[in-house]
Structure 1
Amino acid sequence: MTVVQQYEEIAAYLRSSIREGELVPGDPLPSEAELCRRFESARGTVRQAIALLRSEGLISSGQGRRSRVLDHRPTQSFDDIFSFTQWCLTAGITPGQQTQWVTRKPADPRLAAHLEIPDGAQVVSVFRLRLMDGQAAMIERLNYPFEFGRHLLSFDTDSGSIYQHLLDCGVDIDTATRTIDAVPAEAEDAALLQVPAGAPLLRVRRRAFTTGGTPIEYSDDRYLHTKASFTINSTRNSPTALSMISS
C-alpha cells in the first residue's frame, strides 16, 4: 500500500482548492503559518508541498513574497512516463475510462514503422475515452506489438490503468519520447469529447521503449486544451530533454 507523505497531502489540498475555484489565478496561497496550523506540520513540510506545486506550474515562485496561483489546469511533468491514471490520482482527480474497442489487427506501414515491426505484423490496439472526475478529457489510441499487447486481450480496459497492468504482467517499460502539437478535433473525437468538430485539441504522440530500446508502444492522445497542460523545468547551463521540431 502506498503511504502518502504529509507534504503530498498538503499539495493535494491546495490543488483541489485551485481546481475547484476556491483559489483563482492571481490569488495568494495561504501563508506558511496558516498551512502549518491546519495540517499540524513543520514549516519545511509546507515548503516542500509548495515547491511541488511550483514545479507543476500551478503557482509562482514567490521570491520573498507569498506564491500566487498561476493556473487552474492540471499539469503533467515531462519526467512522468505516461500513466494518465497516476497523473490524475496525484492531482487529486478521479480518473475514468470508457473503452470504445480493443482489437488485434495487422499493422499498416505507418504503425509498423513507429513500432519497428514488419508491415502486417500483428498488433493490439485500444481506443478509449478518458475521464477526469467523470467528465470527458482525452481520446486515447494505444498500439502495441502483439508480444506485449496480448496481455490486454483478457484485461478489462475499463477497470483501470493499462500501464500498471502491463507492469504487473512483467512488461519492461523504461523510457518514452513524446511529440506535442495541436490538431482540430475530427468528427469521431468531437462527438466523444462533446465539442464541435474542428475544436482545438492538444495532441501527444508517444513512443515507449524497453530497457534494451525495443519499441513497446505507439500512442496518440488528444486532450481538451481546457483539461491539461504540460510543464518543463529548465536550469541554466544544464541540458533539457525537450526538442522543438518542424511538422
Structure 2
Amino acid sequence: MAQLPSGPLRRPQQHEEIADYLRDEIFAGHIPAGESLPSEVELCEQFNTSRGPVRQAVATLRAEGLLSSGRGRRSLVLSNTRTETFEEILSNTSWMYRMGKDPSEQVEQFGRDTADATLAECMRINEGDEVFIVRRVRSADGEPMVIEEMAFQPELAEAIEAVDTSEQSIHRELIRAGADFNNISRAFIIEQADAETAGKLGIEEGAPILRVKIKALTHNGEVLEAAVHTYRVDNLSFGLNNVRGHSSPLWFQTESSIQ
C-alpha cells in the first residue's frame, strides 16, 4: 500500500459545504421540523452557485432522513435529531465530545504486532503481517462505556505513535495527516458479557452488550482499520430516520443459529 500522504486535507466540495450549513441550521433549530427549506433559487443566490450543488446537498440531507422527498415542492425538515458524522462513527472520542461528555481511557495495548488469521482475512493481508494494535477501555465522565480493539495498517503507525491518546482523537489526527478514510461498514451483534468484559465495563456478568464490528476503507477499497467496539447497553439508545424512496443503510438479519 502507498505511504501515508502528508499534504493538507481535501477542500470540501461546494455541495458538501452547503449540506453542512443546512445541517447545522436544522440542528440549531433555525429551520424547525415541519418548516420548508429556502427555495433552490434562494440557496443558489446565497451560495453564489448553480442548481447542481444545491440539489446534491439537498439530496444528501434527504438520504440522511432529515428532509422530505419534495417532489416538485420545497423539502420539509422532518427531524432536527443530530445524526452521526463520519468522524463520530470512526471515533468514540468525537462521539463522546458530541454528547457533552469528557472521554478518558485505560490503555491495554498500544504498538506494533502481527495479524492472526482472523484479523488478516478481515484486513485482506497475510497472516503474520505487521499491524498497529490499540486496545483500551474508554470512559465517559469517568464511567466505563466501551472497549475498543483496533488494528491499523502499518503505514499509519508513525502517525498514531505521535498522538497523545489521552487528549486527542487518533482518527482525527490520522485524517489531518491525510489518511484516506472514505467509507465504513459496521455489523452490530448483541451478546452477553463474559466475566472479563463485565469487569472492564463495570456491569454484571451475563448482562447484554453490543459488539460493533467495523471496517474503515479507502476510496479504493483498501482496509485501513479493522475494529471491534464493545458497548455496555444500559444507557445506550439508537435512532434512524428514513424517507420513502431512499434505501436505509441499516439492515437486520437473523443468524443461522441463536444461542
Counterpart of 2:240, as a letter, is I
Q: Select which of 214, 217, 230 maps to 1:209.
A: 217
Any conservation in 2 of the 1:76–1:229 contact (CA below 8 Å)? Answer: no
1:88 aligns with 2:73: no
1:170 aligns with 2:178: yes
Q: Select which of 28, 32, 41 maps to 1:47.
A: 32
Q: Select which of 144, 150, 154 maps to 2:152.
A: 144
Any conservation in 2 of the 1:185–1:200 contact (CA below 8 Å)? Answer: yes
Separation in structure 2 between the aligned mates of residue 240 and residue 10 of structure 1, nearest angstrom:
21
Instruction: Using the TM superposition, give the Cα deviation of residue 208 of structure 1 relative to its aligned residue in structure 2, in angstroms.
Output: 0.3
Runs of 4+ in 1 over 6 A off after TM superposition: 7-12
Q: Select which of 237, 246, 252 maps to 1:238.
A: 246
**Superposition pairs for residues 1-247 of structure 1, below 5 Å?**
45=30, 47=32, 77=84, 81-247=89-255
Any conservation in 2 of the 1:202–1:225 contact (CA below 8 Å)? Answer: yes
Any conservation in 1 of the 2:26–2:32 contact (CA below 8 Å)? Answer: no
Any conservation in 2 of the 1:98–1:129 contact (CA below 8 Å)? Answer: yes
Counterpart of 2:93, as a letter, is T
Instruction: Using the TM superposition, give the Cα deviation of residue 9 of structure 1 relative to its aligned residue in structure 2, in angstroms.
Output: 11
Any conservation in 2 of the 1:174–1:210 contact (CA below 8 Å)? Answer: yes
Which whole-Å deviations, capped at 9, do the CAs of 1:26-52 have from their partners, x for residues lacking one? xxxxxxxxxxxxxxxxxx62726xxxx
Counterpart of 2:119, as a letter, is L
Separation in structure 2 between the aligned mates of residue 240 and residue 99 of structure 1, nearest angstrom:
36
Separation in structure 2 between the aligned mates of residue 242 and residue 10 of structure 1, nearest angstrom:
23
Any conservation in 2 of the 1:124–1:146 contact (CA below 8 Å)? Answer: yes
Counterpart of 2:32, as a letter, is R
Separation in structure 1 between the aligned mates of residue 83 and residue 208 of structure 2, nearest angstrom:
19
Distance 1:92 1:154, change over 3 A: closer
Separation in structure 2 between the aligned mates of residue 154 and residue 187 of structure 1, nearest angstrom:
34
Counterpart of 2:195, as a letter, is A
Distance 1:179 1:111, change over 3 A: same
Determine which structure has the larger strand proportion and give its number.
Answer: 1
- TM-score by structure 2 length? 0.64
Separation in structure 1 between the aligned mates of residue 230 and residue 238 of structure 2, nearest angstrom:
13
Distance 1:111 1:138, change over 3 A: same
Any conservation in 2 of the 1:143–1:218 contact (CA below 8 Å)? Answer: yes
Distance 1:246 1:148, change over 3 A: farther
Separation in structure 1 between the aligned mates of residue 253 and residue 85 of structure 2, nearest angstrom:
16
Distance 1:186 1:152, change over 3 A: farther
Task: List runs of 5+ in structure 1 lacking aligned partners.
Answer: 13-43, 49-54, 57-73
Instruction: Using the TM superposition, give the Cα deviation of residue 172 of structure 1 relative to its aligned residue in structure 2, in angstroms.
Output: 1.0
Give the 3-state SS of the residue equivalent to 1:89 in structure 2: helix
- TM-score by structure 1 length? 0.67
Separation in structure 2 between the aligned mates of residue 9 and residue 234 of structure 1, nearest angstrom:
20
Q: For this pair of structures, how many residues does the alignment match?
A: 196
Counterpart of 2:199, as a letter, is A
Counterpart of 1:45, as a letter, is H
